[in-house]
Amino acid sequence: MYMMRDIVRDGNPVLRKIAQPVQFPLSDADKKLASDMMEYLIKSQDPDFAQKHHLRAGVGLAAPQVGVSEQMACVLVPAEDADDADKTKKYALELTLINPVIISNSIQKAQLFEGEGCLSVDKDIPGYVPRSARITVRYQDFDGNKQTIRVKNYPAIVCQHEIDHLHGHLFYDHINKNDPFEKEPDVIIV
Ligand code: SB7
Ligand code: NI
């Protein structure tokens, strides 16, 4: 499985490349990539395992972050028991996005009140990252079937962060340099 040493850091050109579309049927290498990326997220969210192996917890991981310039990303957002009716559900969103495209964005914005971080960026970069509050994503599943999903708020922010990686964008590209904590009009603070 992937460890922190496998995660590509800012400065490596692969993080700034436009990732290539994934071909179907999936190659064995692509199947392994998908399961290894998801395994990283699962293990990184297990406090004991993460501490023991010095993993930074992640809610998403994109293929360029492990050095593969392909349009694949995993998203694993833990369920918040507080406002989650189904207490048996471990994850609010558990998804492997292949060749994802955002086909619609809400006008309303959302931003994390503490800003964003990235497994590929070792330092804290303060500032708001304006995102769309709601998006519709078209992507392909493991069988190559086209799927459409609508997500909002935190899961939507994570999906946008991951899809950005497939286009060579990093979260801090979106921070207003002159006013990092500039508040957008009509924004949900998540
Ligand atoms: C905060 C963190 C993430 C997404 C959105 C807000 C994911 C961090 C892990 N990654 O670097 C994934 O690309
Ligand atoms: Ni990232």
Mean pLDDT by 10 residues, the chain (190 residues): 97 98 98 98 98 98 98 96 69 98 97 96 96 98 98 98 98 96 90
**Host H or E run for residue 53:** helix 47-53
Burial annotation 124-147 (CB, 10 A radius, 16+ → b, else e): ebebbbbbbbbbbbebbeeeeeee
CA 167 to CA 154: how far, in whole Å?
20
Q: How far is the CA of 64 from the centre of ligand 2 (A)?
A: 10
Q: What pLDDT, on the 0 to 100 scale, is given for residue 71?
A: 99
- For the chain, the structural domain boundaries read 4-189
For residue 156, the surrounding DSSP H or E stretch is helix 153-166
3-state class (DSSP) for residue 83: coil
pLDDT of res. 85: 62
Ligand 1 pocket, residue 164 CB under 6 Å: no
**The pLDDT value given to residue 82:** 57
Query: What is 4-189's CATH number?
Result: 3.90.45.10
Neighbours of 149 (CB within 10 A): 15
- Closest-CA residue, ligand 1 atom 5, reads 158
- pLDDT number for residue 89: 86
Task: Please indicate whether residue 155, judged by its CB atom, sits closer than 6 Å to ligand 1.
Answer: no
Question: 162 CA distance to ligand 2 centroid (A)?
Answer: 6
Note the pLDDT of residue 83: 57
**Residue 131's Cα: distance from chain center in Å?**
13
How many Å is the Cα radius of gyration of the chain?
16
pTM (predicted TM-score): 0.96
Residue 39 in tokens = 């395994």
CB 129 within 8 A of CB 114: no
User: Which residues form the catalytic set?
Assistant: 162
Q: How many Å is the maximal CA-CA distance in the chain?
A: 47
Cα 101 to averaged position of ligand 2 atoms, centre (Å) = 17
